Amino acid sequence: MRAILCDRFEGIGALRMGEAAEPTPADDEVLIDVHAASVSYMDYLMTTGGYQLRPALPYVPGTDAAGVVASVGDRVERFRPGDRVACGNWFGGFAERMVAKASKSARIPGNVDFLVGSTVLHAYLTAWYALVDRARLAPGETVLITGAAGGVGLACVEVAHLLGGRVIAAVGSAAKAKAARDGGAEHVIDYSCEDMRERVRALTNGQGIDVGVDNVGGPLFLTLARLMRWNGRLIPIGFAGGEIPSVPMNLPLLKNYSIVGVFAGAWMTNFPAEAAEAADKVMALVGEGKLRPRVDRVLPLEQAAEAMRAVAERSVQGRMVLKVR
């Protein structure tokens, strides 16, 4: 089958179009005829060897895809051949066929196409897990989200708005502000030219934020750590800026706030029934138009390297999608 292959952990330059063996589903897996696959920062990071997981080389990148179930494992009861599904795996999505755990798959509503469907699980399940399960965001609370125009960041903006949060979106350029506002942000801060600390103090009357969701890392995380309100929740999701931050622990001590990690992939693996229920709920919200995934651009599978380069350069608003069929 046609697939994008990564031969070595050297990033985009190590990608090539080639032929890969067709995967076989295990007892608890589904085999998918892939129609579309979205591209995440995690996909890029894995090709560099910088992610927590290193697949055996050569491997097929791609965490998120959508298509039609071709076959199911012996213990799978949720799906049958012919079902339209979105699915997630650690890798394997940039190919004509991929396998995924049934618990990491969800039916796509009839009014949602494969291009949009491929963008949902990684981004929106991460946002759902972060804000519903880990932060327990309550209506009326103020939440600040960094990297708010990227795939996961924009999903966090939408989910926080849906939950009734007062959303402050932090973006890296003026060009990204509209996407964050369209997603439900009440205020947008361009941290490339604004003092985020002073702006947040002004927006919150000096009170700070209840929930801080950081997708960027580096100095931005430390800024959020100094903006937390009493009993707040500071949530690191990713480090798209390239630097894993450190925090002086007197900061959470002084205001009794929590630093709460979010690793959605591990949550889905360790709590499959809970994750599957959340996936169905999120996909239903997409079908109802209450969550609106944004597709930045659609490229053919052969241009996976170009799509990944855009993600690495943080020039994407929402998700890049590869059209496979």
Question: What value, to the nearest 5°, has the Cα angle with vertex 175 and ends 137 and 160?
Answer: 10
Residue type, 240: A
What's the sign of the alpha-carbon dihedral 54, 56, 61, 62? negative
- Helical H runs in the chain? 41-48, 114-117, 120-128, 151-162, 177-182, 196-203, 219-225, 250-255, 264-270, 272-287, 304-312
Supply 304's token pair: 């996976």
Q: What is the pLDDT of residue 145?
A: 97
The verdict on whether omega for the bond into residue 58 sits within 30 degrees of 0, i.e. cis, is: yes
Q: What is the pLDDT of residue 300?
A: 98
CB of 38 closer than 8 Å to CB of 119: yes
Residue 272 CA to residue 266 CA, distance in Å, equals 10
Residue 184 CA to residue 200 CA, distance in Å, equals 17
Q: What is the pLDDT of residue 151?
A: 87
Within a 10 A sphere around the Cβ of 293, how many other Cβ atoms? 22
Q: What is the pLDDT of residue 51?
A: 87
Q: Where are the beta strands (DSSP E) in the chain?
A: 2-6, 15-19, 29-39, 64-72, 84-88, 97-101, 105-107, 142-146, 166-171, 187-190, 209-214, 228-236, 258-259, 295-300, 319-323
Please state the pTM of the whole predicted model.
0.90
Residue 199 CA to residue 221 CA, distance in Å, equals 16
pLDDT by residue for the chain (325 residues), tens only, comes to 999 999 999 999 999 999 999 999 999 999 999 999 999 999 999 999 988 889 999 999 999 999 999 999 999 999 999 999 999 999 999 999 999 999 999 999 999 999 999 999 999 999 999 999 999 999 999 999 999 988 899 999 999 999 999 999 999 889 899 999 999 999 999 998 999 999 999 999 999 999 999 988 888 899 999 999 999 999 999 887 767 888 889 889 989 999 999 998 889 889 999 999 999 999 999 999 999 999 999 999 999 999 999 999 888 889 999 999 9
User: Could you give the domains of the chain?
Assistant: 2-119+294-323 (3.90.180.10), 123-264 (3.90.180.10)
Q: What is the pLDDT of residue 314?
A: 85
